[in-house]
Structure 1
Amino acid sequence: MDITLVLKQMIILFILMIVGYLANKKKIMNTESDKLFSKLIVNITCPALIIYSVVSGEHLKDNKIIIYIFIVAILYYILIPIIAKLLIIIFRIKKNVVTLYESILIYSNIGFMGIPVVSIIFGKNAVLYISIFMSIFNISIFTYGIFLFGKDLNVVKSKKSFINIKNFYNPGITSAVMAIAIYLMNISIPEVILEPIRMVGNITTPLAMLVIGSTLANFSIRNSIKEKWIYIFIIIKLLILPIIVWFVSRFFISDKLLLGILVIVSGMPVASNVVMMSNEYGGDQNFITKGVFFSTLFSVVTIPIIAVLF
């Protein structure tokens, strides 16, 4: 892969983040607009991007590859908690933050940042791959993720449902399933319908980066920058983890695109879903928020670095 191209694309995304940051500081954007735009991205623009990219992309030589991608995605979310636990032991993470550390290592920002980044680096054909990963991500975070936070708080034994089926009816999974179904059935969508989908989907990347930048503007860097755990976390999450994933996976995965996406997914910033889950189940939201903030900030530098691997 051309590292210069990856670096160029990440700089472009970073500039968009800066625009969002400045827009917040100038009171053009605020917390309310961030929430509004986030809903727009999650419910409309990102699903449109998924559907358009998958439907308009080149068809795979063999549809059995989709089953293979599903298997790889499932194995990834089975094995990544084990790798996370091992890293926690190796780096002697304090017991009181083990659950928090594990959650921010496992769950990467696939939808909000992952899809735009992957589509820019690998092209729109890669969106089919990451859509499958996003489906398994949702299943994992609403099962194992809930268990992870709930085990310390006895949430599983409380009146709260351990697995709420409603969590699986979200735009991310729905659009991914729709896109894959249309792809497999080789349904032809009229241009008059496909073009608006494309136009709406193309809003995703710039709008997502603006929102991320605006969100970062609300965060106090001065007080957090002195905390040593942040730097250890950045090294583990954004560099060591993807290198381990690459080293292990390259012996079993011959598809370079799939391997590249797997590594990029593991090196993505922490998913914002983890913040919401931590808040709902009584975890340390401040700790998680710092993880999201700094992983997003430093990923602009680390993603081009791990891109060297492939």
Structure 2
Amino acid sequence: MNAGIVLKQMVVIFLLILVGYILQKKKLVTQKDGACLSKLIVEVFNPAIIVSSVIGSSNNGEENITGTVFLAAVLFLVLILLAVPISKIFAGGCEEKKIYSLIFVFSNLGFIGIPVVQSIFGKGALIYVAIFILEYNILLYTYGYLLVMPSDSKFHPGSLKSLLNMGTLSCLLALLIFVCHIRLPYILGTTITYLGNVATPLALIVIGISIGQQEHLYRIFCQWKLYLFLIVKMILVPLFMAVVLKRLPISEELAQVSVILMAMPVGSMTVLLLKENHMKETLCSDSIILSSLLSIVSIPFLVYCYRLF
């Protein structure tokens, strides 16, 4: 990873977010339009880019699949364990501890993770992202639900049906195509590729639209405690992981992708979990917006530091 190249890519990402922000401020899109575009990205375009990443693949990284599955599980476990003391440091009450734990573990691997990894490493590296997203979804609908549920509630197995979403299914399909060397017909493969090409710019524009919808954006930038938390989440923890991963017998690309994914901003699904359980989502919403903007600087800085180890 070259820090200069990554910085240029993050500037491009920032400009795409800025386009969405301007569209919102100019009233060219409504809140309903933004919600509709988000749904299309989640249900159509992101799944398409995951599948298209393995179409025509040479399978050079097939030997890394098992290692990636194990590595992703270990990294998520580390995040869960670290979330306990970190949430105690930054949170004031029991509910706030749950929220800090939630936003510490669950990052934006889809909306921002996919565009960033693709822009830095190319489409071929998205097979690693697919594995991380697959495990992320399983964790979100099990640990995530248990974390924010009221203490007197019982976990309902029916909520596991949420695992059968387009994100999970597309990751499974991509792994199947990759491992089994399946060749899709040209027309089908090209159609999926075209749909996937829409994902990156549109997802970033939608983030800008979301930021533009905030009425009190200035308030978000005045939360020093949230800044400190995000520095720990998006810089210090990924740097610690980078030191460890660079010394493990894994491919350099897998190590780099893993570090980048661990440095992603807070995931948007966390807000939905809190709303579903009637918890305040202000802290969560603020962290999503602030971390998304900070990532434009934090990721190039992380890449620069990675090269020093």
User: Same-fold call, TM > 0.5?
Assistant: yes
Residue in structure 2 matched with residue 259 of structure 1 by the alignment: 255
Q: Secondary structure at the match of 1:252?
A: coil
Residue in structure 1 matched with residue 108 of structure 2 by the alignment: 109
Identity, % of aligned positions: 30
Partners of 1:78 and 1:40 in 2: CA distance: 31
Offset of residue 92 of structure 1: 5.2
**Alignment match of 2:168 (pick from 163, 168, 173):** 173
The two structures have a TM-score, normalised by structure 1, of 0.93
Does the CA-based 8 Å contact 1:147-1:162 persist in structure 2? no
Deviates more, 1:243-252 or 1:280-289: 243-252
Offset of residue 37 of structure 1: 0.5
Where does structure 1 lack aligned partners over 5 or more consecutive residues?
none
Q: Secondary structure at the match of 1:54?
A: coil
Residue in structure 2 matched with residue 20 of structure 1 by the alignment: 20
Partners of 1:257 and 1:156 in 2: CA distance: 43
Does the CA-based 8 Å contact 1:113-1:208 persist in structure 2? yes
How many equivalent residue pairs? 304
Within a 5 Å distance, the mapping from 1:9-48 to structure 2 comes to: 9-48=9-48
Compared with structure 1, are the counterparts of its residues 155 and 142 closer, same or farther at alpha carbon in structure 2 (3 Å cutoff)?
A: farther
Does the CA-based 8 Å contact 2:114-2:129 persist in structure 1? yes
Compared with structure 1, are the counterparts of its residues 144 and 8 closer, same or farther at alpha carbon in structure 2 (3 Å cutoff)?
A: same
- Counterpart amino acid of residue 267 in structure 1: A
Offset of residue 262 of structure 1: 1.2
Residue in structure 2 matched with residue 198 of structure 1 by the alignment: 193
Residue in structure 1 matched with residue 266 of structure 2 by the alignment: 270
Partners of 1:192 and 1:225 in 2: CA distance: 48
Within a 5 Å distance, the mapping from 1:1-310 to structure 2 comes to: 1-60=1-60, 63-89=62-88, 91=89, 93-96=91-94, 97-150=96-149, 153-154=150-151, 156-157=153-154, 161=156, 164-219=159-214, 220-308=216-304, 309-310=306-307
Does the CA-based 8 Å contact 1:58-1:125 persist in structure 2? no
Does the CA-based 8 Å contact 2:102-2:270 persist in structure 1? yes
Partners of 1:240 and 1:282 in 2: CA distance: 32
Partners of 1:223 and 1:23 in 2: CA distance: 22
Partners of 1:230 and 1:54 in 2: CA distance: 38
Deviates more, 1:8-17 or 1:51-60: 51-60
Does the CA-based 8 Å contact 2:102-2:144 persist in structure 1? yes
Offset of residue 54 of structure 1: 1.7
Offset of residue 85 of structure 1: 2.2
Partners of 1:255 and 1:169 in 2: CA distance: 31
- Counterpart amino acid of residue 72 in structure 1: L
Where does structure 2 lack aligned partners over 5 or more consecutive residues?
none
How big is the alpha-carbon RMSD for the aligned residues of Structure 1 and Structure 2? 1.6
The two structures have a TM-score, normalised by structure 2, of 0.94
Listed one character per residue, the Cα deviations across residues 23-82 of structure 1 (whole Å, up to 9, x for unaligned) are: 000111121111111111111111110111122333125x34211111111111222111
Structure 1 residue runs of 4+, over 6 Å off? none
